Structure 1
Amino acid sequence: MEVYLYSISKAFLTFPVAALLFTLPFLLTQYRRHGYIHKYRALTLYLLLLYLMNAFYLILLPLPSSFHNNPPDADSYAQWIPFHFIMDIARDTTVQADDLASYLRLLREQAFLQVIFNIALTMPLGFFLRIYFRLRWQIVLGIALGLSLLFEITQVTGIYGLYDYPYRLFDVDDLIMNSAGGMIGHWLALWLSKAMPRFDRLNDQVDLAAKKVSYTRRAVAFICDWTVTLPLVLVLHVLHVPYSYWIAITLYFVLLPLVTNGRTFGKWLVRIRLTGKDTHITLRELVLRYGLFYGLVGGLHEFLLLMAANSYPAPLLLLTAMFLFLLDTILAVHALRCLFNRERKLFYEERSGTSHIIR
Structure 2
Amino acid sequence: MSSYIFPIKTAMITFPILAIFITIPFSLYQYRKYGYINIFRNFILYSFLLYLICSYYFIILPLPSVTDVRSLQAEGTQYTQLIPFNFIIDILKESTVVISKPSTYINILKERAFLQVAFNGILLTPLGIYLRYYFKKDLKKTIIITFCVSLFFELTQLTGLYGIYNAPYRLFDVDDLILNTFGGFLGYLIAPLFTYYLPETNTLDDKVDLQNLKVSYIRRFFAFYVDWFILGFIPYKDSDLIMQAIIIFLYFIVLVYFTNGKTIGKALFKIKIKGKHEKLSFKEVFKRYGLLYYGFFGINKLLFTTGDLNKIEYTNYIVIIAIIGITINLLIFIHFLLCMIKKDNRLFYEKFSDTRNIIA
The verdict on a shared fold, with TM-score over 0.5 as the criterion, is yes
2:332 match: 331
CA–CA separation in structure 1 for the residues paired with 2:307 and 2:253: 28
1:301 match: 300
Q: What secondary structure is seen at the aligned counterpart in 2 of 1:213?
A: coil
Q: What secondary structure is seen at the aligned counterpart in 2 of 1:357?
A: strand
1:340 match: 341
Runs of 4+ aligned structure 1 residues displaced above 6 Å come to none
> Once the 2 structures are TM-superposed, how far is the Cα of residue 137 of structure 1 from its aligned partner?
2.0
2:350 match: 349
CA–CA separation in structure 2 for the residues paired with 1:64 and 1:172: 23
CA offsets per residue over residues 173-228 of structure 1, 9 Å max, x none?
Answer: 11111111111112222565664322223222211112111111111111111112
CA–CA separation in structure 2 for the residues paired with 1:216 and 1:85: 51
2:61 match: 61
> Once the 2 structures are TM-superposed, how far is the Cα of residue 345 of structure 1 from its aligned partner?
3.5
Structure 1 portions without partners, runs of 5+? none
Moved more, 317-326 or 134-143: 317-326
CA–CA separation in structure 2 for the residues paired with 1:205 and 1:194: 20
> Once the 2 structures are TM-superposed, how far is the Cα of residue 100 of structure 1 from its aligned partner?
2.2
2:251 match: 252
**Residue correspondence of structure 1 range 96-245 to structure 2 within 5 A:** 96-190=98-192, 195-232=197-234, 235-237=235-237, 243-245=242-244
> Once the 2 structures are TM-superposed, how far is the Cα of residue 259 of structure 1 from its aligned partner?
1.3
Aligned-pair identity in percent equals 40
CA–CA separation in structure 2 for the residues paired with 1:323 and 1:66: 59
Q: What secondary structure is seen at the aligned counterpart in 2 of 1:281?
A: coil
One-letter identity of the residue aligned with 2:261: G
CA–CA separation in structure 2 for the residues paired with 1:312 and 1:301: 18
CA–CA separation in structure 2 for the residues paired with 1:322 and 1:353: 29
CA offsets per residue over residues 57-107 of structure 1, 9 Å max, x none?
Answer: 111111111222344456321111111000000000011112223221111
CA–CA separation in structure 2 for the residues paired with 1:274 and 1:187: 48
Instruction: State yes or no: 1:313 paired with 2:311.
Output: yes
The RMSD of aligned alpha carbons is 2.3
Distance 1:344 1:46, change over 3 A: closer
Native 8 Å contact 1:35 1:358 kept in 2? yes
Q: What secondary structure is seen at the aligned counterpart in 1 of 2:84?
A: coil
Native 8 Å contact 1:72 1:165 kept in 2? no
Native 8 Å contact 1:11 1:57 kept in 2? yes
Native 8 Å contact 1:140 1:183 kept in 2? yes
Distance 1:78 1:303, change over 3 A: same
CA–CA separation in structure 2 for the residues paired with 1:93 and 1:319: 83
One-letter identity of the residue aligned with 1:41: R
CA offsets per residue over residues 280-336 of structure 1, 9 Å max, x none?
Answer: 111111111111111112223334555567x66373556645543443233222212
Aligned residues: 355
1:23 match: 23
CA–CA separation in structure 2 for the residues paired with 1:241 and 1:187: 65
Q: What secondary structure is seen at the aligned counterpart in 1 of 2:162?
A: helix
More helix by share: 1
Native 8 Å contact 2:160 2:166 kept in 1? yes
Moved more, 188-197 or 78-87: 188-197
CA–CA separation in structure 2 for the residues paired with 1:41 and 1:206: 14
Structure 2 portions without partners, runs of 5+? none
Distance 1:81 1:72, change over 3 A: farther
Native 8 Å contact 2:214 2:345 kept in 1? no
Native 8 Å contact 2:256 2:262 kept in 1? yes
Native 8 Å contact 1:257 1:264 kept in 2? yes
CA–CA separation in structure 1 for the residues paired with 2:326 and 2:152: 53
One-letter identity of the residue aligned with 2:337: L
CA–CA separation in structure 2 for the residues paired with 1:325 and 1:66: 54
1:84 match: 86
One-letter identity of the residue aligned with 1:104: I
Q: What secondary structure is seen at the aligned counterpart in 2 of 1:209?
A: coil
